Structure formats: C-alpha cells, structure tokens
Amino acid sequence: MKNLLKEMTIEEKLGQLIQIPPFFYIKDLKDELYGPAVELGLSKEQIFMTGSVLGIGSPEEMIEVQKTYLENNRHKIPLVFMADIIHGYETIFPIPLALAGSFNKDLVKKVAEISAKEAQTSGIHVTYSPMGDISREPRWGRIMESFGEDPHLNYILNYQMVKGYQGSSIKDEGSLAASFKHFAAYGLSEAGRDYNTVDLSEYSFKQYFAQGYLGAIDAGAKMAMTSFNTFEGIPATMNEKLIQKILKKDFGFEGLIISDYNGVRETITHGISENDKEAALNSFKAGLDIEMVSATYMKELKEEFESGRLPIELLDERVLKVLKFKEELGLFDNPYKGASRIKHDQIVLSSKNLEFALKAANESIVLLQNNNNILPLSKEQKIFLAGPNANETDLNGAWSWHGSRTNNETLYNILNNNDLLTSVEKCDVIVYFGGEKSNESGEAKSKTNINFNESQLNEIIELKKYNKPIILINSSGRPIILTNVIKHTDSILQTWFLGTKSAEAIYQTLYGINNPSAKLPVTFPQKIGQIPIYYNHLPTGRPKGSLYNEYVSYYIDSSNEPLFNFGFGLSYSNFKYLSLSISKDIIKGDEEVILTVNVKNESNRAGYEIDQLYIYDPFAKISRPVKELKDFRKVWFEENEEKKISFKINKEMFKYYDQNLNYRVDDGQIILYVGTSSNKTLEQKIIFVGGDK
C-alpha cells in the first residue's frame, strides 16, 4: 500500500477521502441524488479519483459502477460501497427499537448476519449501522432506529449487531463492515427536533449516552460516523475533543471516521466555519477521515498540502487508512466482492430468511394490556377488523430502502384467508389496527403531538356501541401516548414496525401461536408534558413522599408515573417472582456473588419471560439513578414450571464516573432488584467492601 501511496498525486489522495452517490459515475442512477449532492462540482477526472460510494441498488449497478470506475482510475484502486442497511436488506426485520424489546442477543446478532449476507449480494461492503444513539425522546422520529433508553441494553445490542455484520472477518464474502453512528449523542436533540442542539456533561455522556457506541467499539466496528449535532457547542464533525480525545484516546477507537451527509459543509451553517475552506480545514484537523457527499477536502485542501501549510504526512496517514481498509475488505483481490445476481436471487428473501424474520417479529411484539385475558383468541373466535393499517402492506418502518411492500401480506388478507373475519354484529371481538404509518417516523420526522391519533380514537369509541371486546394493535416507530385510548380497549398489542412478516406475526400473536414476550425498551409517557421521562432518573432532593408536603418534585396536573414503564410487557403466561436470595451478603474486592431468583409460570401456557436485574447505589460521590439495568435473562418456561435463575454480581456493575471523570467504585450498600419490569421487582441489599478511596 505504501508503494501505491507514493505513486498518487495529492489530488488523488484527497479523492480517497470523499464519498459520493453512484449517479456521478453512471448518469442514469439518479435515485440517490438530493440536496447538496447536486452541487458537488467535481470534474470528470476528479470523479474518478473519489474513494467510496453511498448507496447502490442492485448487483448489476454495483458491477457497472465499479467497472466504469476502474476503467477510468489511473491506479485501479477499487471503490468501496457503503449503504444504510439498518434492519434488513430486502428481507426486512423489525425496526431496531422493536428488536430491542426482544431482549434477545442472539436474535439481534442473527438479524445483522442475515442483513449482511443479503446486502453483500449487491456488492455492498459497509453498513451505516448500528445506531448507538440512546434516546429518551419519543418526539424524535429517529428513536425508531435506536435500541431505546437504556445504556446497558444499548451496549449489548450494539455489540451483537456489529458481531453479526462483521462475522469472523470482513474479508469474507457475506459479511459487512459496520460503521456505528452518530457520534455523539444525536439522540438527545433538544425538544426532540431532529438535528437540534445537544447539550450534556461529559460525565453523563460517558456514563450513559456513550454506552451504545462503546458496545460497537468493543465488538470491533471498523468505522464510525459523526453526528450532525453540536457537542459542547462544536459540531461533532469538526470537534477535536470529541474525535481525538474521547473517541480515539479514551475509547480506543482506531477505525475510519466519516461525516454524516454533507456534515462538513454544515459546519458553516452551524456558524463556525466561514466557508468551504475553513470547513475542510476544521474537519480534517479534528480527525475526520472521510466526508460524505461533499468534496471540500479535494477542492480546498490541495493547496494547503502543496504549499506545505499542512504536513503531507498527515494526509498520507489518512489515505493509508482508507487503502488498508479496502485491502482488509479484500477489494484489491476482488473489487466486485459479493455482487452476483445468481447469489442475490438465491439468498435474498429466501424462505429461511423469511422464517427468521417472522421469529424476530414475533419476539418483538409487546402485550401492553389484556383485560380478562381476552387474548389469545381461540380458533372459533371471529374478528371484525377495522382501522387504517388493516389493509396496509407497508409495515416495514423507515430505513428499509430495499424492502418492497409487495413482499408483504396485509393482516386483512391473512385473517380472511383463514376464514376468521366476520361482520361487526356477528363477531366475537373487534380488532382495530391503528397507530402510525410507516413514514411517520425516521429521519426528520419529529412530532409535537404523540398522543394516540384522535380520529382513530373516535372510531374506536364509535365501535364500543357493539359491546364487543376491543383489541387495539398499535403500530408505531416511537412510544405513543395511549392514555386517551386505553380506557376504551380491552387489550393492546404494541407492534411497532415489524418488517416483511408483520402481518403474519400479528395473526400468530392474536391466535396464541405466538405467546408475546417482548418488553418495552423505552418508557411510554402518560402525558406529553412529562417528556423526557425515563426509568433511570436521579432521585432529586425532594422526591414524592418526602417531608415538604406539596413542595416536592411532582406535577399539579398529573402523576409522575409513566403509562408503561421501561421493561414492561405482559405474556399469555403468568409469571410470579417468588423469592430472591444471595450466596453472600458482602462482596469483597473482585469477588463474585450469586443472586438467585425463583420464578414460576403459574399458567397452562409455555412462554418466555425476561428477568431483569437492576441496581441502586444509594450513596456515592455523585447522585446515582434510582434503578439501572445491569443484566437480563430471557428464559423459556414450560407450563406451570418453576425455575431458579442466577445472576453473577460483581463490582464492575457498581462502577461509575465521578465529576472529575474518574471511573470508580465505592464501599457501601447496593440494592439489587430482580423482576418482570423496572417497576415490579424483588429486592436484596448487599454491602461492597474494597472500593476506591
């Protein structure tokens, strides 16, 4: 690679640090062209010096673009193809927020594995996933791409996703390199408005909001994408502290760093860089390797390196990183790696992949309400089906570019084909399939009103006159406030957007072929004014119940409680948490103690339960959250089965960052909680000895 580098001109080197859409190489591929991409202003020669491509539609397109490029590139350096493969390629899996509710590490890993295998048949090499942005913001449309509000769950699932994509080597056909995003803290956009300001302390960032990214880094993710937002007043794209100190030095990330779409030039609109030249200089100096869909490096930095104002070694180092990455991907040996129509047609949407998509969809459905055990229905029970999603094929959710709705069934068709539908007069139950449409969440889909849709509510109220039980199926890419509708329903299934097999999974869950097991990965507020509301909040000096009468932390027009807590989700089984015990009630130094919970399935229905372990550290150097998830187990119970489930407890779970950013652990009491959701737990106290002074 070093020899190759020697033969390259400065302009050619800079080209490797630029990513543009496929349209520029083959003019017919216009689809990807929008916004600032139109005004890139690169000459034909420069186009054939660029290093990577954003988005590609098929194996044929990839082969054509790569071939054309190689014919025109002096050094025959292959392009690397990157794309947003977020929850599946053509077989679409549940949105990440839904998958998080499965609390199933293996399942999430396998989703990434299948996505990689499918996408690689179109010659894609890198995916812009996972999204490690932790979010407590249901107004933010991109919460659907996140694994929810919890740091631990985010760490684990980001880790699994990267392992799934990258497999044992990114050189292998069928694996993708993972570019986690958006570094950093993009999930905290103020007021839930996309791209808005983010402001948080570094200790809070490291303790909570960085955990998703850390999971991806620890799993060996090869790339990172910076976020659109500012961090401490400086856009992430050109934030030297964030990139050099936190990402590289503190977190040990050694991979490539790419901007988000036109992020370099947006440092101008952020009010820091005065023009393209400054934007390029600021971003380059901060450590940004590749710019996405802008060409300021190529156009503005050439002179800087030629004149020696910027040391050429700095450029060589960056370009070498890119070339080595291409080598690691095996592209110098085979620039068309993976791209094949034959393989595409064998692998994509295969019956095995679809079967797994159904499993993933089933494991992502959350049962929120089930009065009088209305669900599951028996085969004899007939449905009257209503609501705007009853006949909808697009239940894929946002960020599923290659997933065609033509692959999807509607719930109406499935129920109808099984002779399960009838008139409202004759039916046993009314099923109302409402909620959001697929395009109501995703990027730039922020909302101020996330109450359950009013016209749907009125239709449900109207249906009450038939005096039949009402089951609401709620699709959404975010927590919806269900306070207005829950009093009119008997049962609620939260079905998010479940992908290609959405309708099948909903049918199977209605009729008990699937016993719902997912839990909420994010809090569902009771009122909009409670936002941000999350389970792992700090205690406050005046919690409710303290001695100040009404001068406590509460609302005069609402309770503090959410409608549904983090970790909540019912089942057709009935799990009872009987007792909690510990092998020793003092932990010294590096010792490990075993916490054991006794759980019984008090029902005649087998199913999964997700046992959740939380901790609370009541006295520390800084105020600590009232509960923090530290571990979980997804356990299968046969009917009426009782099981002992064990958790290993050690000091790693008690560590935290203090105000001076020291990662520490204290002597003293810790309260351990185990239960079926964050607000329904058994408790056990222990003492830790051997902490930092």
Q: Which residues carry out catalysis?
A: 260
* Strand extents, DSSP E, 528-649: 575-582, 586-588, 593-601, 607-616, 628-637, 642-649
Q: Are 432 and 472 in contact (CB under 8 A)?
A: yes
Query: Within 366-385, which residues bind ligand BGC (CB under 6 A)?
Result: none
Please identify the residue of the shown chain whose CB is closest to the bound ligand BGC: 128
Which residues inside 80-119 make contact with ligand BGC, applying CB under 6 A? Answer: 84
Residues numbered 602-641 forming contacts with ligand BGC, rule: CB under 6 A: none
Using alpha carbons only, give the angle 103, 352, 106 rounded to the nearest 5 degrees.
20
C-alpha distances in Å from residue 345, one per residue of 61, 66, 119, 405: 15, 21, 12, 18
CB nearer to ligand BGC: give 219 or 224. Answer: 224
Sequence-ordered list of residues with C-beta below 8 angstroms from that of 683, at least 6 positions apart, any chain: 580, 671, 672, 673
Nearer to ligand BGC, 146 or 489 (CB): 146
CB of 492 to ligand BGC, least distance (A): 31
Binding to ligand BGC (CB under 6 A) within 156-195 occurs at 181
85 or 580: CB nearest ligand BGC:
85
Q: Does 128 bind ligand BGC (CB under 6 A)?
A: yes
Beta carbons within 10 angstroms of residue 27's beta carbon: 8
- Determine what percent of the chain falls in helix, strand and coil, rounding each to the nearest 5: 35, 20, 45
Q: How far is CA 449 from CA 112, 191, 480, in A?
A: 33, 12, 9
- Using CA atoms, how far apart are residues 89 and 174, in angstroms rounded to an integer? 12
Of residues 132 and 330, the one with the C-beta less far from ligand BGC: 132
Min dist. Cβ of residue 524 to ligand BGC (A): 25
Q: In this structure, are residues 562 and 450 in contact, taking their beta carbons and an 8 Å threshold?
A: no
Q: Which is nearer to ligand BGC, 229 or 500 (CB)?
A: 229
Please identify, using beta-carbon distances, which residue of 442 and 675 lies nearer to ligand BGC.
442
What is the 8-class DSSP label of residue 307? T
Name the residue nearer to ligand BGC (CB basis): 117 or 181: 181
Give the whole-angstrom CA distance, residue 650 versus residue 130.
29
Number of residues binding to ligand BGC, judged by CB under 6 A: 7
Q: 228: phi > 0 → left, psi -120 to 50 → alpha, else beta; which?
A: alpha
Sign, CA torsion 95/97/103/108: positive
**Least distance CB 108 / ligand BGC (angstroms):** 19
- Output 258 or 473, the one with its CB closest to ligand BGC: 258
Query: How near is the Cβ of 443 to ligand BGC at its closest, in Å?
Result: 6
**Phi-psi region for residue 567, left (φ > 0), alpha (ψ -120 to 50) or beta?**
left
Nearest in space to 180 (alpha carbons), one of 138, 141, 134: 134
Binding mask 435-464 for ligand BGC (x = CB under 6 A): --------x---------------------
Q: Residue 478 interacts with ligand BGC (CB under 6 A)?
A: no
**Neighbouring residues of 45: CB distance < 8 A, sequence distance ≥ 6:** none
> Rounded to the nearest whole angstrom, what is the least distance from the CB of residue 126 to ligand BGC in the complex?
10
Please state the closest distance from residue 269 (CB atom) to ligand BGC, in A.
Answer: 15
Residue 260 CB, shortest distance to ligand BGC, in Å, is 5
Could you tell me the CA-to-CA distances from 559 to 452, 498, 529, 546, 622 in Å, in that order? 19, 32, 11, 16, 27
CA angle 94, 497, 409 (to 5 degrees): 95
Least Å from the CB of residue 91 to ligand BGC: 20
Region 27-86 residues binding ligand BGC, contact defined as CB under 6 A: 54, 84
Torsion of CA 109, 115, 116, 118, to 10 degrees: 150
Coil, strand or helix: which one is 170? coil
Within 232-271, which residues bind ligand BGC (CB under 6 A)? 260-261
Rounded CA-CA distance 534/208 in Å is 12
Residue ranges that bind ligand BGC, judged by CB under 6 A: 54, 84, 128, 181, 260-261, 443
